[in-house]
Structure formats: C-alpha cells, structure tokens
Amino acid sequence: EWLEQLYNAVKALDDDRILELIEQIPVEESLLAEKLSNLVDNFQLKTIRQLLESLKLG
C-alpha cells in the first residue's frame, strides 16, 4: 500500500506528497529516507519511478 501511494505520488509529480510519504519511513531505514529525499530535492522523480517499477515487477 505504501509503495503504491509513493508510486502514485511520483506519477502525479506531487513532491509534497512524496516527502510526506518519505517521512513515514521508520527511523531504522533513515538511509533510505535520506536517499529518496535527495532524489526528490534533485528532481529525480523518474529515477524513483523506475525503482518502484522494478520492485513491482520483481
């Protein structure tokens, strides 16, 4: 469900929603949250989308 919400936010180019979802990532996964935030900050939504699509296919 969370991945689907993130994917939909990325497709909609809704960076505010993406950042909200990233904030929900547990502290134990802070590196993941940091990397995703950096991608959003650098307008690399296509990269996030590709990663999510590879997870859906895998």
Residues 2-17: tens digit of each pLDDT: 999 999 999 999 999 9
| 32 contact partners, CB below 8 Å, separation of at least 6 | 25
Question: What is the reported pLDDT for 27?
Answer: 95
- Give the other-Cβ count within 10 Å of 7's Cβ: 19
Range of the domain at 44: 2-57
State mean pLDDT over 52-56: 87
Q: In the predicted model, what is the mean pLDDT of residues 21-40?
A: 96
Cα(28)–Cα(46) distance, integer angstroms: 25
What is the number of structural domains in the chain?
1
